[in-house]
Amino acid sequence: MRAVVFERYGTPAQVREVPDPEPAEHGVVVRVEATGLCRSDWHGWMGHDPDITLPHVPGHELAGVVEAVGSRVTGWRPGDRVTVPFVCACGTCPACAAGDQQVCERQTQPGFHHWGSFAEYVALDHADVNLVAIPDDMSYATAAALGCRFATAYRAVVQQGRVAAGEWVAVHGCGGVGLSAVMIAAASGARVVAVDVSPQALGLARKFGAAECLDATGVSDPAAAVRELTGGAHLSLDALGSPATCAASVNGLRRRGRHVQVGLLPSADGTTPVPLARAVALELELLGSHGMAAHAYPGMLRLVRSGVLRPDLLVTSTLTLAAAPAALAAMGTAPGAGVTVIEPWSRA
């Protein structure tokens, strides 16, 4: 099969032929029809993830068709249309037993723990626990976004963030996760302030329901600007993952507000300072959010099928596999707006 492979961190990846994967007894091999290009993939390429072993194939946000099934898999067969959370849970550890597969103690992640979906085929673990069927009328490009960014934002806003109609929600960083969060919060009846440095990203945030759009390059203190607009956000998300956006998210909250950290804060940036004095004085909640378990997808999928949520609108560009290495490298300086999807079988 053809796959995007890098041999060293931060050096150009190449598309080349590699062996086809085989399914584990509990796993499947999926023919990848679409896979998202995510900033997390860039972090892995840069060497920010200790689980990666070189050489490596990135990619963790995917949709496709089951190609081969392991001997112990009972719920899936070749030809099934599927997506998968980027956290593939074991199904048997205490966290999984409690229904918290997104923090599984023995989790594996395609594109990090093992070769991922920037390829024509990908192997996935514990299929009966992790695969999610996608409707026949949903495109693979739309479904790919559900494996990471859209589902991650859904859980961060709805389940961890406990968004309520009429609340002010601040979203710091309007890439794929942030724009998903804007759409989901607005659909929940919240008033959203979108914060970014890109006019294009802010334009999309406005399109997806943001009541206010704040260009962070035009203000000296984004948190103060959020407080001035809202009186302090009830709920705020750092959807980018940087010391500056983390601090701005916390500092923009009102009393007893809720901060959800969604964007990765890689160790390469050092220890991220968090304004805990403000958290104590205002009794703030500081929460993490890490993907979403497969069993939680049906509620989100119902809203997608009803048209309340439109992840298809987030897909702003599609690429061939040949174009993926350059696009991966560019994520560090020009991540783009919306979701970019790679179609590994396309030659156009």
pLDDT in tens, 230-277: 999 999 999 999 999 999 999 999 999 999 999 988 765 567 889 999
Among candidate residues 242, 344, 305, 298, the one with its CA nearest the CA of residue 36: 344
Kindly report, residue by residue over 118-154, the tens digit of the pLDDT.
999 999 999 999 999 999 999 999 999 888 899 999 9
Does the domain at 2-148+292-343 match CATH 1.10.260.30? Answer given as no
Q: Is the pLDDT of residue 58 over 60?
A: yes
Contact between 184 and 158 (Cβ < 8 Å) = yes
pLDDT at 110: 97
For a pLDDT cut of 70, what percent of the chain falls above it?
Answer: 98
Domain ranges of the chain: 2-148+292-343, 150-288
The distance between the two most distant Cα atoms of the chain, rounded to a whole number of Å, is 59
- How far apart CA 30 and CA 45 sit, in angstroms, is 23
Kindly report, residue by residue over 73-128, the tens digit of the pLDDT.
999 999 999 999 999 999 999 999 999 999 999 999 999 999 999 999 999 999 99
**Of the CATH numbers 3.40.50.720, 3.40.50.1970, 3.30.460.10, 3.30.200.20, which one belongs to the domain with range 150-288?**
3.40.50.720
| pTM to 2 decimal places | 0.94
Kindly report, residue by residue over 14-39, the tens digit of the pLDDT.
999 999 999 999 999 999 999 999 98
Instruction: Output the DSSP codes for 243-292.
Output: HHHHHHHHHTEEEEEEEEE-S---GGG-SPP--HHHHHHTT-EEEE----
